[in-house]
Protein backbone atom coordinates (compact mmCIF):
# COMPACT_ATOMS: atom_id res chain seq x y z
CA UNK A 1 0.00 0.00 0.00
CA UNK A 2 1.27 3.50 -0.82
CA UNK A 3 2.60 5.46 2.15
CA UNK A 4 2.75 9.24 2.22
CA UNK A 5 5.28 11.32 4.13
CA UNK A 6 3.17 11.42 7.28
CA UNK A 7 3.22 7.62 7.32
CA UNK A 8 -0.54 7.29 6.67
CA UNK A 9 -1.73 4.98 3.94
CA UNK A 10 -3.35 6.80 1.03
CA UNK A 11 -6.52 4.79 1.60
CA UNK A 12 -6.95 6.23 5.06
CA UNK A 13 -7.15 9.75 3.60
CA UNK A 14 -10.43 11.05 2.26
CA UNK A 15 -10.58 12.16 -1.39
CA UNK A 16 -10.09 15.82 -0.51
CA UNK A 17 -6.91 15.01 1.44
CA UNK A 18 -5.64 12.75 -1.35
CA UNK A 19 -6.15 15.45 -3.98
CA UNK A 20 -4.48 18.12 -1.84
CA UNK A 21 -1.58 15.76 -1.15
CA UNK A 22 -1.15 15.07 -4.85
CA UNK A 23 -1.13 18.80 -5.66
CA UNK A 24 1.28 19.68 -2.85
CA UNK A 25 3.74 16.94 -3.86
CA UNK A 26 3.48 17.02 -7.68
CA UNK A 27 2.08 20.46 -8.51
CA UNK A 28 -1.22 21.74 -9.95
CA UNK A 29 -3.48 19.27 -11.78
CA UNK A 30 -5.62 19.83 -14.88
CA UNK A 31 -9.39 20.28 -14.63
CA UNK A 32 -9.73 16.88 -16.37
CA UNK A 33 -7.55 15.14 -13.78
CA UNK A 34 -9.50 16.79 -10.97
CA UNK A 35 -12.87 15.94 -12.52
CA UNK A 36 -11.76 12.35 -13.16
CA UNK A 37 -10.64 11.89 -9.55
CA UNK A 38 -13.82 13.50 -8.17
CA UNK A 39 -16.16 11.39 -10.30
CA UNK A 40 -14.47 8.03 -10.78
CA UNK A 41 -11.70 7.60 -8.18
CA UNK A 42 -11.85 3.81 -7.67
CA UNK A 43 -13.16 3.87 -4.10
CA UNK A 44 -14.02 7.48 -3.29
CA UNK A 45 -15.26 8.99 -6.57
CA UNK A 46 -18.73 10.46 -6.82
CA UNK A 47 -20.02 7.71 -9.11
CA UNK A 48 -18.18 4.96 -7.20
CA UNK A 49 -19.18 5.57 -3.63
CA UNK A 50 -22.85 6.52 -3.48
CA UNK A 51 -26.22 6.78 -5.20
CA UNK A 52 -26.27 10.06 -7.15
CA UNK A 53 -29.67 9.87 -8.81
CA UNK A 54 -33.29 10.40 -7.88
CA UNK A 55 -35.14 12.44 -5.32
CA UNK A 56 -32.76 11.42 -2.51
CA UNK A 57 -29.62 11.89 -4.63
CA UNK A 58 -28.24 15.06 -6.16
CA UNK A 59 -30.11 15.33 -9.45
CA UNK A 60 -33.10 13.92 -11.34
CA UNK A 61 -32.82 12.84 -14.98
CA UNK A 62 -35.45 12.63 -17.75
CA UNK A 63 -36.10 8.87 -17.45
CA UNK A 64 -36.60 9.30 -13.69
CA UNK A 65 -39.19 12.02 -14.35
CA UNK A 66 -41.46 9.92 -16.55
CA UNK A 67 -41.74 6.54 -18.25
CA UNK A 68 -42.77 8.44 -21.40
CA UNK A 69 -39.15 9.42 -22.10
CA UNK A 70 -37.94 5.81 -22.35
CA UNK A 71 -41.08 4.58 -24.07
CA UNK A 72 -40.67 7.06 -26.92
CA UNK A 73 -37.00 6.12 -27.30
CA UNK A 74 -38.18 2.49 -27.38
CA UNK A 75 -40.42 3.32 -30.37
CA UNK A 76 -37.52 5.20 -31.96
CA UNK A 77 -35.27 2.13 -31.64
CA UNK A 78 -37.90 -0.23 -33.09
CA UNK A 79 -38.31 2.16 -36.02
CA UNK A 80 -34.57 1.98 -36.79
CA UNK A 81 -34.46 -1.79 -36.29
CA UNK A 82 -37.28 -2.06 -38.83
CA UNK A 83 -35.49 0.31 -41.23
CA UNK A 84 -32.52 -2.09 -41.05
CA UNK A 85 -34.85 -4.96 -42.11
CA UNK A 86 -35.22 -6.42 -38.62
CA UNK A 87 -31.78 -8.02 -38.24
CA UNK A 88 -31.89 -11.38 -36.42
CA UNK A 89 -29.05 -10.29 -34.16
CA UNK A 90 -28.21 -6.76 -33.02
CA UNK A 91 -26.59 -5.04 -30.04
CA UNK A 92 -28.44 -2.50 -27.93
CA UNK A 93 -25.88 -0.63 -25.84
CA UNK A 94 -26.55 1.97 -23.19
CA UNK A 95 -23.78 4.25 -21.95
CA UNK A 96 -24.16 5.25 -18.27
CA UNK A 97 -27.52 3.53 -17.67
CA UNK A 98 -28.00 4.98 -14.17
CA UNK A 99 -30.67 3.06 -12.28
CA UNK A 100 -31.69 1.11 -15.40
CA UNK A 101 -34.95 3.02 -15.66
CA UNK A 102 -34.47 4.26 -19.23
CA UNK A 103 -33.59 0.78 -20.54
CA UNK A 104 -36.45 -0.87 -18.64
CA UNK A 105 -38.93 1.61 -20.19
CA UNK A 106 -37.35 1.18 -23.64
CA UNK A 107 -37.54 -2.60 -23.56
CA UNK A 108 -41.05 -2.80 -22.12
CA UNK A 109 -42.20 -1.06 -25.31
CA UNK A 110 -39.68 -2.32 -27.86
CA UNK A 111 -40.01 -6.00 -26.99
CA UNK A 112 -43.64 -5.86 -28.13
CA UNK A 113 -42.33 -5.71 -31.70
CA UNK A 114 -42.27 -9.36 -32.84
CA UNK A 115 -38.70 -10.62 -33.18
CA UNK A 116 -37.04 -7.68 -31.33
CA UNK A 117 -36.51 -9.55 -28.06
CA UNK A 118 -35.04 -12.64 -29.76
CA UNK A 119 -32.62 -10.55 -31.81
CA UNK A 120 -31.52 -8.37 -28.85
CA UNK A 121 -28.07 -8.50 -27.24
CA UNK A 122 -28.20 -6.05 -24.34
CA UNK A 123 -24.92 -4.38 -23.39
CA UNK A 124 -24.33 -1.78 -20.68
CA UNK A 125 -21.34 0.46 -19.98
CA UNK A 126 -21.16 1.65 -16.39
CA UNK A 127 -18.55 2.73 -13.84
CA UNK A 128 -20.60 2.66 -10.65
CA UNK A 129 -20.91 -0.64 -8.75
CA UNK A 130 -23.95 0.71 -6.87
CA UNK A 131 -25.76 1.56 -10.11
CA UNK A 132 -24.63 -1.67 -11.77
CA UNK A 133 -26.43 -3.60 -9.02
CA UNK A 134 -29.60 -1.58 -9.66
CA UNK A 135 -29.29 -2.21 -13.41
CA UNK A 136 -28.90 -5.92 -12.79
CA UNK A 137 -32.00 -6.02 -10.59
CA UNK A 138 -34.13 -4.19 -13.16
CA UNK A 139 -32.82 -5.69 -16.39
CA UNK A 140 -31.78 -9.24 -15.49
CA UNK A 141 -34.59 -10.77 -17.54
CA UNK A 142 -32.97 -9.34 -20.68
CA UNK A 143 -29.64 -11.03 -19.90
CA UNK A 144 -27.45 -7.89 -19.99
CA UNK A 145 -23.66 -7.93 -20.13
CA UNK A 146 -21.47 -5.07 -18.94
CA UNK A 147 -18.74 -3.96 -21.33
CA UNK A 148 -15.27 -2.87 -20.17
CA UNK A 149 -14.37 -1.32 -23.53
CA UNK A 150 -15.69 -0.94 -27.08
CA UNK A 151 -13.19 -3.15 -28.86
CA UNK A 152 -15.53 -5.81 -30.15
CA UNK A 153 -19.25 -6.42 -30.51
CA UNK A 154 -21.38 -9.40 -31.46
CA UNK A 155 -22.35 -9.72 -35.06
CA UNK A 156 -25.09 -7.39 -36.38
CA UNK A 157 -25.82 -3.68 -36.15
CA UNK A 158 -25.44 -1.49 -33.07
CA UNK A 159 -28.09 0.76 -31.56
CA UNK A 160 -26.61 2.94 -28.82
CA UNK A 161 -28.33 5.28 -26.37
CA UNK A 162 -26.83 7.65 -23.82
CA UNK A 163 -28.74 10.04 -21.57
CA UNK A 164 -26.59 12.40 -19.50
CA UNK A 165 -23.48 10.29 -20.04
CA UNK A 166 -21.18 12.52 -22.09
CA UNK A 167 -21.59 15.44 -19.64
CA UNK A 168 -19.96 13.32 -16.92
CA UNK A 169 -16.72 12.75 -18.83
CA UNK A 170 -13.77 14.92 -17.76
CA UNK A 171 -13.05 18.06 -19.76
CA UNK A 172 -9.89 20.11 -20.12
CA UNK A 173 -10.23 23.89 -20.08
CA UNK A 174 -7.99 26.37 -21.92
CA UNK A 175 -7.93 30.15 -21.52
CA UNK A 176 -6.93 32.56 -24.28
CA UNK A 177 -4.05 34.89 -23.29
CA UNK A 178 -1.86 37.22 -25.41
CA UNK A 179 0.83 34.54 -25.81
CA UNK A 180 -1.61 31.68 -26.58
CA UNK A 181 -3.99 29.22 -24.89
CA UNK A 182 -3.08 28.19 -21.34
CA UNK A 183 -4.53 25.13 -19.64
CA UNK A 184 -6.62 25.85 -16.55
CA UNK A 185 -5.37 24.00 -13.51
CA UNK A 186 -6.22 23.43 -9.88
CA UNK A 187 -3.51 24.23 -7.36
CA UNK A 188 -3.30 25.20 -3.70
CA UNK A 189 -3.35 28.84 -2.59
CA UNK A 190 -2.97 29.51 1.14
CA UNK A 191 -3.72 25.82 1.68
CA UNK A 192 -7.03 25.93 -0.25
CA UNK A 193 -7.77 24.58 -3.72
CA UNK A 194 -7.87 27.37 -6.32
CA UNK A 195 -7.97 27.70 -10.09
CA UNK A 196 -4.88 28.95 -11.93
CA UNK A 197 -3.28 28.66 -15.37
CA UNK A 198 -0.38 26.61 -16.62
CA UNK A 199 2.52 29.03 -17.26
CA UNK A 200 3.26 27.56 -20.70
CA UNK A 201 0.81 28.01 -23.58
CA UNK A 202 -0.08 24.93 -25.60
CA UNK A 203 0.88 24.75 -29.30
CA UNK A 204 -1.67 26.79 -31.33
CA UNK A 205 -2.03 23.92 -33.84
CA UNK A 206 -3.84 21.83 -31.20
CA UNK A 207 -6.71 24.37 -30.99
CA UNK A 208 -9.83 23.83 -33.13
CA UNK A 209 -10.40 26.25 -36.02
CA UNK A 210 -13.70 27.28 -34.45
CA UNK A 211 -11.89 29.32 -31.78
CA UNK A 212 -9.43 31.12 -34.08
CA UNK A 213 -9.61 34.84 -33.28
CA UNK A 214 -11.28 34.27 -29.89
CA UNK A 215 -11.34 37.18 -27.45
CA UNK A 216 -8.79 37.46 -24.66
CA UNK A 217 -9.73 35.47 -21.55
CA UNK A 218 -12.29 33.36 -23.38
CA UNK A 219 -12.35 29.72 -22.36
CA UNK A 220 -12.43 26.61 -24.52
CA UNK A 221 -13.51 23.25 -23.14
CA UNK A 222 -12.36 20.02 -24.76
CA UNK A 223 -13.61 16.57 -23.80
CA UNK A 224 -10.97 14.19 -25.12
CA UNK A 225 -12.57 11.19 -23.40
CA UNK A 226 -15.94 11.85 -25.05
CA UNK A 227 -14.31 12.23 -28.46
CA UNK A 228 -12.49 8.92 -27.98
CA UNK A 229 -15.69 7.09 -26.96
CA UNK A 230 -17.42 8.57 -30.02
CA UNK A 231 -14.54 7.63 -32.32
CA UNK A 232 -14.57 3.98 -31.22
CA UNK A 233 -18.36 3.67 -31.34
CA UNK A 234 -18.69 5.52 -34.66
CA UNK A 235 -16.09 3.22 -36.21
CA UNK A 236 -17.99 0.18 -34.91
CA UNK A 237 -21.26 1.56 -36.35
CA UNK A 238 -19.48 2.29 -39.65
CA UNK A 239 -18.42 -1.40 -39.78
CA UNK A 240 -21.61 -3.04 -38.52
CA UNK A 241 -24.37 -0.51 -39.22
CA UNK A 242 -26.66 1.23 -36.73
CA UNK A 243 -27.08 4.50 -34.87
CA UNK A 244 -26.16 6.38 -31.69
CA UNK A 245 -28.59 8.66 -29.85
CA UNK A 246 -27.23 10.96 -27.14
CA UNK A 247 -29.28 13.34 -25.00
CA UNK A 248 -27.53 15.94 -22.88
CA UNK A 249 -27.21 19.63 -22.20
CA UNK A 250 -24.84 21.05 -24.73
CA UNK A 251 -24.31 23.01 -27.92
CA UNK A 252 -24.14 22.19 -31.61
CA UNK A 253 -21.04 24.10 -32.69
CA UNK A 254 -17.74 24.34 -30.86
CA UNK A 255 -17.82 27.59 -28.89
CA UNK A 256 -16.10 29.29 -25.98
CA UNK A 257 -17.48 29.56 -22.44
CA UNK A 258 -17.09 28.07 -18.97
CA UNK A 259 -19.76 25.41 -18.40
CA UNK A 260 -18.13 23.39 -15.63
CA UNK A 261 -20.74 23.01 -12.91
CA UNK A 262 -21.18 21.36 -9.56
CA UNK A 263 -24.51 20.10 -8.24
CA UNK A 264 -25.16 18.81 -4.76
CA UNK A 265 -28.55 17.84 -3.37
CA UNK A 266 -30.45 19.55 -6.20
CA UNK A 267 -28.58 22.90 -5.87
CA UNK A 268 -25.53 24.40 -7.58
CA UNK A 269 -22.31 23.89 -5.63
CA UNK A 270 -18.67 25.00 -5.95
CA UNK A 271 -16.80 22.36 -7.97
CA UNK A 272 -13.74 22.81 -5.74
CA UNK A 273 -15.69 22.02 -2.56
CA UNK A 274 -16.29 18.55 -1.15
CA UNK A 275 -14.62 16.52 -3.93
CA UNK A 276 -16.35 13.17 -4.42
CA UNK A 277 -19.57 14.40 -2.86
CA UNK A 278 -20.52 16.90 -5.55
CA UNK A 279 -21.61 15.97 -9.06
CA UNK A 280 -19.41 17.73 -11.60
CA UNK A 281 -20.41 18.00 -15.24
CA UNK A 282 -19.90 20.19 -18.29
CA UNK A 283 -22.01 20.98 -21.33
CA UNK A 284 -21.39 18.65 -24.23
CA UNK A 285 -19.79 19.96 -27.44
CA UNK A 286 -22.00 18.06 -29.90
CA UNK A 287 -20.24 19.93 -32.72
CA UNK A 288 -16.98 18.19 -31.84
CA UNK A 289 -18.71 14.80 -31.42
CA UNK A 290 -20.41 15.25 -34.81
CA UNK A 291 -17.05 15.93 -36.47
CA UNK A 292 -15.67 12.70 -35.00
CA UNK A 293 -18.71 10.70 -36.15
CA UNK A 294 -18.59 12.10 -39.69
CA UNK A 295 -14.83 11.48 -39.90
CA UNK A 296 -15.63 7.80 -39.22
CA UNK A 297 -18.06 7.81 -42.16
CA UNK A 298 -21.39 8.29 -40.35
CA UNK A 299 -24.16 10.74 -41.11
CA UNK A 300 -25.42 13.10 -38.39
CA UNK A 301 -28.78 14.74 -37.85
CA UNK A 302 -29.18 18.44 -37.10
CA UNK A 303 -29.26 18.75 -33.31
CA UNK A 304 -32.85 18.77 -31.97
CA UNK A 305 -33.94 20.14 -28.63
CA UNK A 306 -35.36 17.54 -26.26
CA UNK A 307 -38.72 19.29 -26.49
CA UNK A 308 -38.76 19.14 -30.31
CA UNK A 309 -37.58 15.53 -30.40
CA UNK A 310 -40.13 14.20 -27.89
CA UNK A 311 -42.94 16.22 -29.44
CA UNK A 312 -42.14 14.91 -32.93
CA UNK A 313 -42.14 11.37 -31.52
CA UNK A 314 -45.60 11.95 -30.05
CA UNK A 315 -45.18 12.70 -26.34
CA UNK A 316 -48.39 14.77 -26.44
CA UNK A 317 -50.42 11.78 -27.67
CA UNK A 318 -48.65 9.42 -25.25
CA UNK A 319 -49.43 11.72 -22.31
CA UNK A 320 -53.09 11.90 -23.37
CA UNK A 321 -53.30 8.09 -23.67
CA UNK A 322 -51.69 7.55 -20.27
CA UNK A 323 -53.98 10.13 -18.66
CA UNK A 324 -57.01 8.49 -20.28
CA UNK A 325 -55.99 5.14 -18.79
CA UNK A 326 -55.16 6.64 -15.35
CA UNK A 327 -57.39 9.69 -14.82
CA UNK A 328 -56.22 9.98 -11.20
CA UNK A 329 -52.65 10.60 -12.42
CA UNK A 330 -53.53 13.08 -15.18
CA UNK A 331 -52.05 16.04 -13.28
CA UNK A 332 -48.78 14.23 -12.60
CA UNK A 333 -48.55 13.17 -16.24
CA UNK A 334 -49.14 16.75 -17.42
CA UNK A 335 -46.46 18.02 -15.00
CA UNK A 336 -43.97 15.40 -16.23
CA UNK A 337 -44.75 16.20 -19.86
CA UNK A 338 -44.14 19.90 -19.22
CA UNK A 339 -40.91 19.25 -17.36
CA UNK A 340 -39.51 17.22 -20.24
CA UNK A 341 -40.73 19.45 -23.06
CA UNK A 342 -41.25 23.06 -21.99
CA UNK A 343 -38.63 25.63 -22.91
CA UNK A 344 -38.35 27.00 -19.37
CA UNK A 345 -37.71 23.50 -17.99
CA UNK A 346 -35.67 20.73 -19.71
CA UNK A 347 -37.11 21.14 -23.21
CA UNK A 348 -34.59 23.58 -24.70
CA UNK A 349 -31.53 23.16 -22.49
CA UNK A 350 -31.29 19.47 -23.36
CA UNK A 351 -30.34 18.54 -26.92
CA UNK A 352 -30.66 15.31 -28.88
CA UNK A 353 -27.77 14.20 -31.07
CA UNK A 354 -27.86 11.34 -33.57
CA UNK A 355 -25.09 9.78 -35.65
CA UNK A 356 -26.01 6.85 -37.88
CA UNK A 357 -25.22 4.77 -40.92
CA UNK A 358 -25.85 6.75 -44.08
CA UNK A 359 -29.17 5.64 -45.54
CA UNK A 360 -31.08 5.39 -42.25
CA UNK A 361 -33.69 8.05 -41.50
CA UNK A 362 -33.94 8.42 -37.71
CA UNK A 363 -37.29 9.93 -36.71
CA UNK A 364 -37.58 12.98 -34.45
CA UNK A 365 -35.22 15.33 -36.28
CA UNK A 366 -35.89 18.22 -38.63
CA UNK A 367 -36.13 16.99 -42.23
N1 LIG B 1 -28.52 7.66 -17.98
C2 LIG B 1 -28.96 7.69 -16.61
C3 LIG B 1 -27.84 8.13 -15.66
C4 LIG B 1 -27.19 9.46 -15.92
S5 LIG B 1 -25.94 9.85 -14.73
C6 LIG B 1 -30.16 8.56 -16.47
O7 LIG B 1 -30.47 9.30 -17.39
O8 LIG B 1 -30.82 8.52 -15.43
C9 LIG B 1 -24.45 9.37 -15.55
C10 LIG B 1 -24.29 7.88 -15.72
O11 LIG B 1 -23.04 7.63 -16.36
C12 LIG B 1 -24.26 7.08 -14.43
O13 LIG B 1 -24.81 5.81 -14.67
C14 LIG B 1 -22.77 7.02 -14.17
O15 LIG B 1 -22.41 6.06 -13.22
C16 LIG B 1 -22.24 6.78 -15.56
N17 LIG B 1 -20.85 7.18 -15.77
C18 LIG B 1 -20.28 8.36 -15.43
N19 LIG B 1 -18.99 8.38 -15.80
C20 LIG B 1 -18.73 7.19 -16.39
C21 LIG B 1 -17.58 6.60 -16.97
N22 LIG B 1 -16.42 7.27 -17.02
N23 LIG B 1 -17.68 5.36 -17.47
C24 LIG B 1 -18.86 4.69 -17.45
N25 LIG B 1 -19.98 5.18 -16.89
C26 LIG B 1 -19.92 6.42 -16.38
Give the residue-averaged pLDDT of 331-358. 97
Whether residue 266 is found in the same domain as residue 232: yes
Distance (Å) from CA 325 to ligand 1 centroid:
33
Residues 247 and 164 in one domain: yes
Q: Are residues 234 and 122 located together in one domain of the fold?
A: yes
Nearest CA-CA partner of 195 in 272, 282, 279: 272
Digit-coded pLDDT (tens) for 268-311 = 999 999 999 999 999 999 999 999 999 999 999 999 999 999 99
CA of 70 to the centre of ligand 1 (A): 16
Domain contains 259: yes
96-103 mean pLDDT: 97
**Alpha-carbon 56 to chain mean position:** 21
> Are residue 180 and residue 141 in the same domain, yes or no?
no
Report whether pLDDT(4) > 60. no
> What's 325's domain CATH number?
3.40.50.12710
Question: Above 60 in pLDDT, residue 3?
Answer: no
Note whether 237 and 330 are same-domain residues.
yes
- Are both 305 and 257 inside the same structural domain? yes
Give residue 21's domain range. 10-32+175-222
The predicted structure's pLDDT at residue 296: 98
Nearest CA to ligand 1 atom 23: 127
Lowest-confidence region among 11-15, 302-306, 336-340, 358-362:
11-15
Task: Write out pLDDT tens, residues 313-342.
Answer: 999 999 999 999 999 999 999 999 999 999
Q: Strand runs (DSSP E) across 265-356, as ranges?
A: 267-269, 279-281, 284-285, 299-300, 304-305, 350-356
Which of 18-27, 52-61, 208-217, 232-241 shows the lowest per-residue confidence on average (mean pLDDT)?
52-61
Q: Please give the distance, rounded to the nearest whole angstrom, from the Cα atom of residue 162 to the centre of ligand 1.
A: 9
Mean per-residue pLDDT of the chain: 94
Q: Domain boundary at 189, 222, 255, which?
A: 222
Q: String of b and e for 204-234 (b: at least 16 CB within 10 Å)?
A: eeebeebbeebeeeebbbbbebbbebbbebb
Task: Based on the fold, state whether residues 83 and 132 are members of the same structural domain.
Answer: yes
The neighbouring-strand residues paired with 280 are 262
pLDDT band, residue 367 (cuts 50/70/90)? low
Question: Which residues, other chains included, contact 25 with Cβ-Cβ below 8 Å and sequence gap of 6+?
Answer: none
Q: Is the pLDDT of residue 11 over 80?
A: no
Number of domains composing the chain? 2
Nearest ligand 1 atom, CA 59? 5
Report if residue 18 sits inside a domain: yes
The reply to whether 164 and 262 lie within a common domain is: yes
pLDDT at residue 10, as a whole number: 74
Same domain, 292 and 160: yes
Strand bridging mode 261-264 / 180-189: unpaired
Residue 41 lies in a domain: no
Nearest CA owner, ligand 1 atom 17: 96
Give how far the C-alpha of residue 284 lies from the chain's centroid of Cα atoms, to the nearest Å.
8
3-state secondary structure of 14: coil
Beta strand segments in 190-324, E: 192-197, 219-222, 242-251, 261-264, 267-269, 279-281, 284-285, 299-300, 304-305
Same domain, 153 and 274: yes
Could you tell me the CA-to-CA distances from 143 to 138, 152, 236, 356 in Å, in that order? Answer: 11, 18, 22, 26
Residue 67 lies in a domain: yes
Distance of CA 279 to the CA centre of its chain: 13
Residue 186 sits in the same domain as residue 201: yes
pTM of the model: 0.95
Asked if 317 and 267 sit in the same domain, the reply is: yes
Is 52 inside any structural domain?
A: no
Q: Determine the Cα angle at 104 with ends 328 and 336, to 5°.
A: 35
For residue 141, being part of any structural domain is answered with yes
The residue out of 192, 222, 252 marking a domain boundary is: 222
Testing ligand 1's pocket by substitution, the residue of 49, 98, 245, 280 carrying the most ligand atoms inside 8 A of its CB is 98
Residue 303's closest CA among 347, 266, 361, 250? 250
Residue 277 lies in a domain: yes
Residue 47 lies in a domain: no
Give Cα 163 distance to the centre of its chain.
Answer: 6
Residue-wise pLDDT for 147-172, tens only, equals: 999 999 999 999 999 999 999 999 99
Say whether pLDDT at 49 is over 80.
Answer: no
Angle, helices 67-83 vs 101-110, to 10°: value is: 50
pLDDT at residue 2, rounded to an integer: 46
Say how far apart CA 80 and CA 77 lie, in whole Å: 5
Report the nearest-CA residue for atom 6 of ligand 1.
98
**7: pLDDT confidence band, cut at 50, 70 and 90?**
low
Amino acid sequence: MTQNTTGKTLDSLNLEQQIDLQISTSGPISVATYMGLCLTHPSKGYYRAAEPLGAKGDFVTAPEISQMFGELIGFWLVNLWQQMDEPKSFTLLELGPGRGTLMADILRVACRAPGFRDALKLRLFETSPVLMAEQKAKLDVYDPKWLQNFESFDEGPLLIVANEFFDALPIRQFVCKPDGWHERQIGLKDGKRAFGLSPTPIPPASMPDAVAGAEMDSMLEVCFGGAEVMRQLAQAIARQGGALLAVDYGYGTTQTGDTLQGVRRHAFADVLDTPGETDISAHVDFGALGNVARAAGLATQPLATQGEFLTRLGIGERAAALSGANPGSANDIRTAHDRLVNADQMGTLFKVFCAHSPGLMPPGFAA
